[in-house]
Amino acid sequence: MITQQWRQESIYTVIEVVGSSPTSWEDAARDAIDTASESLWNLRIGEVKQLDVSLDEMGKIASYRARIKFSLKYDNWKAELGWKGQRCRSSPIPHKG
């Protein structure tokens, strides 16, 4: 007899966003966070992956850029609205072997 035991798991989506600023990398990161927060919910972690600058024709810094990786906690909003999908974790996974 196979016994199936499910544990509570957290599922996250990961996206990358690039923010920019004419003044600093900190402002560029803030731009990325503020912009992401306007249209995304359940933001959990932001990790700065890369900092760079764009240069003008004279080789001067035109803007600072921050690439940030965000993780968003999975939200089953469709179920909360009554959507009846096929997502079901109650059936056991067949054991091979």
The CATH number linked to 51 is: 3.30.1660.10
- Indicate whether 53 belongs to any domain: yes
- Indicate whether 97 belongs to any domain: no
List the pLDDT tens digit at each of the 97 positions of the chain.
455 555 556 778 899 999 999 999 999 999 999 999 998 888 888 999 999 999 999 999 999 999 999 998 877 767 777 776 655 444 445 555 5
- Indicate whether 91 belongs to any domain: no
pTM for the whole structure: 0.65
- Indicate whether 81 belongs to any domain: no
Helix residue spans in the chain (DSSP H): 25-39, 77-80
- Indicate whether 61 belongs to any domain: yes
- Indicate whether 18 belongs to any domain: yes
**What pLDDT is stored for residue 11 in this prediction?**
77
**What pLDDT is stored for residue 31 in this prediction?**
95
Which domain, by its residues, includes 46?
12-75
- Indicate whether 80 belongs to any domain: no
Distance between CA atoms of residues 55 and 8, nearest Å: 48
What is the number of structural domains in the chain?
A: 1
**What would the DSSP string read from start to end of 3-27?**
---------EEEEEEEEEESS-HHH
